Chains A and B, each alone.
Chain A
């Protein structure tokens, strides 16, 4: 079946570094992608989204890049802070379908 996967299960960075979390997706029909942050004991929190007609979208300290040619999605976090420590999930969806397909997640550990 279709799936969304991540290359790195754990990413450790120093405070102030830039972090890059990667995600590969396999459903070519997906046209909407979202990054979620999930802290321990909490539900996923929306970070940023991007539609397939875009290659890049920027938010506050975060940037999402979409490469449809290789079906790759990345989340860049600038000046990573200890509060950014969490599990990050990419998720994909397709217009007309009601569900999001989540990847398995990447744990980001930020050391002070």
Chain B
């Protein structure tokens, strides 16, 4: 079975632009979480979605938004990009809502560079 898949794997944007990142969870997983990993740091929680509803949000500005589709795939959108948004964006899926009753499975990430 395929793991968590993310696209694109790499992309370069300029300040002020917007970006959409996509994630397909493991088949059967209903929960998707997004994390931002700045170089040299641990991942930081952005959002969690379960059954198409937002169930958790981290300390990120309103420029960050996400949604989950009926097939449980998800998009992360970032508007008005800043240099500081350059990071690896990780998507993780889990079967249960909290993800704490089992493993969080991470994708390989989308590396965003903002120039």
Contact = CB atoms under 8 A, between A and B. Distances in A.
Nearest to A93: B100
Given A99-B33, A102-B35, 14 more contacts: A43-B92, A43-B106, A44-B43, A44-B106, A49-B103, A93-B98, A95-B98, A98-B33, A98-B97, A98-B99, A100-B45, A102-B43, A102-B44, A104-B42
B56 interface: yes
Interface string A32-46: 101010000111111
A89 interface: yes
B100 A32 contact: yes
B108 interface: yes
A98 B90 contact: no
A46 B98 contact: no
A63 to B, nearest CB: 18
Contact of A98 (B43, B55, B109): B55
Contacts of B45: 98-101
16 contacts: A43-B92, A44-B43, A44-B106, A46-B104, A89-B42, A93-B99, A93-B100, A95-B98, A96-B98, A97-B56, A97-B98, A99-B48, A99-B58, A100-B104, A101-B45, A104-B41
